[in-house]
Amino acid sequence: MPCGYCSQTAKKVLFLMMKIVVELALVGAIASVFIVAAQGRAAERAAEEAAGREYMRKLDELMAKAQNRRTLASWNYESNITNYNEEQMLQISLEVAEEQKEYWKETMSYLWHEYEDPDLKRMFKKYSELGTAALPEDLNQRLLTAISNMQSIYATATICDYKDRNKCDLHVEPDVTDIFANSEDPEELKYTWLEWHKAAGAPSRGNFTEYIQLDNEAAKLNGYDSVAEWWLSAYESDDSEDQFASLWSQVKPLYQQIHAYVRRQLREKYGENVVSARGPIPAHLLGNIWAQTWGNIEKFTRPYPNKPEVDVTSALIAQNYTALKMFQTAEEFFKSLNLSGMPDLFWERSIIEKPNDGRELVCHASAWDFYDGEDFRIKQCTTITSDFFFTTHHEMGHVEYYLQYKHQPIVYRGGANPGFHEAVGDVIALSVSTPKHLKIVGLLEDGPEDTESNINQLYKMGLDKIVFLPFAYLLDIFRYGVFRGTTTTRDYNCHFWRLRETLQGLEPPAPRSEDDFDPTAKYHVAADVEYMRYYVSYIVQFQFHRALCQLAGEYSPGDSDKILSACDIYRSQEAGEALGKMLQMGSSKPWPDAMEALTGQRNMDASGLLEYFEPLHEWLKRENERTGEYIGWEASNIEYCSDEQRMAMDEFGFNERLKKYAAL
């Protein structure tokens, strides 16, 4: 090979090598630029997140003060209903709304969608919803006034006594409630039902219509199509409504068996001209003004009437229980689990009995968090009954939740989903109501613990827990339809009773029309309180109960000596520790995380409830088959919809939607 050729080749190789070196250097330089830029962007993002974190800390302090002011004003009004306190509550609510609006504007200036810290993003997302403060001040004032008016109508409504028409000072608590608890006169019950709904329901129709319109406007300003979607967003799932319907399909067969059994018992007591063999049950005969629980008819419908009655009310009275002693007993249960006792301010500032100074107040039992980490209260017009004994444990469960998550930022001080808060107190009450626990605290003497006594106890529980489910479910299905416009103003009462008949198997005691407005005769509708939380709570409390009972060693599947319905977690440190860990999370994580932390499940499931009531379910099926009872109900003969309304329900798809909700 000639030497010149070698030299030429060497030059080419050298040139190529130099070119590669230059190109690599260029690539390296470009890469360095990108690396420096990326490092700069990472540093910039880290700085932005640090600024966002500091802003959240300051916003948390501001929101705590704002929430404290608003809650104090609400407490002052609800514990002493006067024009002055109402004006103060409205004024402070508006002032806080305007403050929130200013905070919201600053919140939305942060690029929180780009943050990497999931906790920081979650806080910003929660604060990115302004609530009703998104409304212009004049519209927000109208909304608050409409709700306040409904609350006031409900709280101050009075009716005349059936036996003494000159006595016209009967309130829902305790007067109407006591009549339904004790009277077995169908005419007195019918009269009282009609008068209460006339006094507390119909006058709120105009306020309710305005409230719907304005609340929907607020929902749209927060990015939702209607308040229905706004409320559902708290459950953090796109298919929440399908989940609710699926839960109902699980428990519906058990409800139908209880319904059939109770209908027969009522028919035998009042006659077939009052209660038909195959129709819905008249709503005024079930021991409760709303027919949401039926426990007050247990005394004459009990499966085994010759078995000794678990009469907690008589025991409370005989042992000189006071409201204070009830509250101290409830506190002791939580302390036995190594959870927190009630702080000193709780005892100083709570209202646990109806004041005798003549003031009007909202007697509906409620628990209050004043967002300062120190002030927690209950407002309850306690009387010495078993219902209030268990209600006291329930309300204190709310306060225990407040105490456990008080270390969380304000934005996380809430239940993992709305149903969790309601379930906590109830899961305690499941233990408290067992004969085992009642014996421990001295409210029940030793008695037989056999199959028949257990069926009686489960039946009594079923009249509270099972029959409540369709009521809790339909109350918000009704409001979803109103918020979405599929139930219009002209159809309020018709659609409400269509739902009650279809889901509950109940009918009104007399014909209804659109001159009536029965939904706001229920406090939670009048007070703008989302109600699906109660439906969810009555399902998940049995999931919680099953998990806690297994931790306490009180329940073992298949062991007849350790059945779920007899479990009492009192004094179990293991159960208390697990419950406390879940409560401490507040709403800092999506609810499936909180559910999993306690139960190992990530979904809401009615199997725990069905396990609890399985012996009763089997007994009811045998008993209803023995007596030939019709399961389900035929259409009501009581008119509550006009022919025109019934045609429209088919035409506009109401009945099709109803089939989905009712698991038909």
Q: Categorise residue 657: left if φ over 0, alpha if ψ from -120 to 50, beta otherwise.
A: alpha
Torsion angle, alpha carbons of 165, 166, 169, 171, to 10: -10
Active site residues: 395, 524
Is residue 97 within 8 Å of 132, Cβ to Cβ?
A: yes
- Residue in 404, 416, 438 with CA at minimum distance from that of residue 577: 404
Residue 558 to residues 205, 225, 555, 564, 611, Cα–Cα distance (Å): 52, 48, 9, 10, 11
Q: Do residues 390 and 429 lie in contact, with contact meaning Cβ atoms separated by under 8 Å?
A: yes
Q: Which pLDDT score, from 0 to 100, does residue 54 have?
A: 96
18-22, 46-50, 462-466, 500-504: least confident range = 18-22
Q: What are the residue ranges of helices labelled H in 433-531?
A: 435-440, 451-484, 492-499, 523-526
Q: How far apart are CA 516 and CA 198, in angstroms?
A: 7
Cis peptide before 174 (omega within 30 of 0): yes
Run of H or E residues at 278:
none
Contact of 526 with 204, CB cutoff 8 Å:
yes
For 561-567, what is the mean pLDDT? Answer: 92
**For residue 467, what are its two tokens?**
């029959």
Nearest to 228 by CA among 415, 471, 538, 475: 475
Neighbours of 406 (CB within 10 A): 18
Assign residue 485 a region (left: φ > 0; alpha: ψ between -120 and 50; beta: otherwise). left
Q: What does the radius of gyration of the chain's CA atoms come to, in whole angstroms?
A: 30
Inter-CA distances, 1 with 5, 10, 11, 580, Å: 7, 13, 16, 89
Q: CA-CA distance, 55 to 51, in Å (whole number)?
A: 6
Q: Coil, strand, or helix at residue 508?
A: coil
Supply the mean pLDDT for the chain: 92
The least confident of 35-44, 51-60, 209-218, 225-234 is: 35-44
Q: Can you give the pLDDT at residue 44? A: 83
In angstroms, the Cα distances linking 369 to 131, 143, 354, 395, 405 are 19, 23, 20, 12, 11
Closest CA to 263 of 662, 659, 641, 623: 623
What whole-number percentage of the chain has pLDDT above 90? 85
pLDDT at 3: 47
- Other CB atoms within a 10 A radius of the CB of residue 562 amount to 15
Q: Strands 366-369 and 376-379, how do they pair? A: antiparallel
**pTM assigned to the model:** 0.87
DSSP states of 577-625 as a string? HHHHHHHHTTTSS-HHHHHHHHHS-SS--THHHHHHHHHHHHHHHHHHH
Residue 275 near residue 267, CB atoms below 8 Å: yes
pLDDT by residue (tens digit) across 402-433?
A: 999 999 999 999 999 999 999 998 999 999 99
pLDDT in tens, 113-145: 999 999 999 999 999 989 998 999 999 999 999
Confidence of residue 503 (pLDDT cuts 50, 70, 90): very high
The pLDDT value recorded for residue 15 is 55
6, pLDDT greater than 50: no
**How do strand 366-369 and strand 281-282 relate by DSSP bridges?**
unpaired
Task: Determine the Cα–Cα distance for residues 593 and 576; give it in Å rounded to an integer.
Answer: 18
Q: Is the pLDDT confidence value at 7 over 80?
A: no
User: Which residues contact residue 390 at a Cβ distance below 8 angstroms, ignoring those fewer than 6 apart?
Assistant: 429, 432, 433
The angle formed by the CA atoms of residues 185, 494 and 364, to the nearest 5 degrees, is 55
pLDDT band at 517 (very low <50, low <70, confident <90, very high): very high
pLDDT at 369: 98
Measured over the CA atoms of residue 406, residue 407, residue 413 and residue 415, the dihedral's sign is: negative
Tell me the mean pLDDT in the region 336-358.
96
pLDDT in tens, 597-635: 999 999 999 999 999 999 999 999 999 999 999 999 999
Specify the amino acid at residue 483: F
For residues 279 and 446, the model is more confident at: 279
Q: Which residues make beta-bridge pairs with 377?
A: 368
DSSP state of 485: T
Tell whether the model's pLDDT for residue 10 goes beyond 70.
no
Calculate the CA 123 to chain-centre distance.
Answer: 23
149-183 pLDDT, tens digit per residue, is 999 999 999 999 999 999 999 999 889 999 999 99
Q: How far is residue 485 from each of residues 47, 233, 489, 569, measured CA to CA in Å?
A: 46, 19, 9, 46
DSSP, residue by residue, 527-588: TT---HHHHHHHHHHHHHHHHHHHHTT---TT-TTS-GGG---TT-HHHHHHHHHHHHTTTS
What Cα–Cα distance (Å) separates residue 64 from each residue in 80, 99, 121, 343? 24, 12, 20, 19
Burial 141-165 (b: 16+ CB within 10 A, else e): bbbbbbbbbbbbbbbebbbbbbeee
**Quick check: 88 and 73 in contact, CB under 8 A?**
yes
CA atoms within 13 A on the CB side of 527: 15
CA nearest 629: which of 266, 250, 252? Answer: 266
Torsion of CA 276, 277, 281, 286, to 10 degrees: 100
Q: Is residue 27 scored above 60 in pLDDT?
A: no
Say how far apart CA 109 and CA 400 lie, in whole Å: 36
d(C-alpha 496, C-alpha 515), whole Å: 13
- pLDDT band, residue 5 (cuts 50/70/90): very low
Q: 46-91, pLDDT tens digit by residue?
A: 899 999 999 999 999 999 999 999 999 999 999 999 999 999 999 9
pLDDT at 95 > cutoff 90? yes
Backbone angles phi, psi at 351, to 5 degrees: -110, 110
Q: Are strands 281-282 and 506-507 parallel, antiparallel or unpaired?
A: parallel
Res. 13: pLDDT tops 50: no
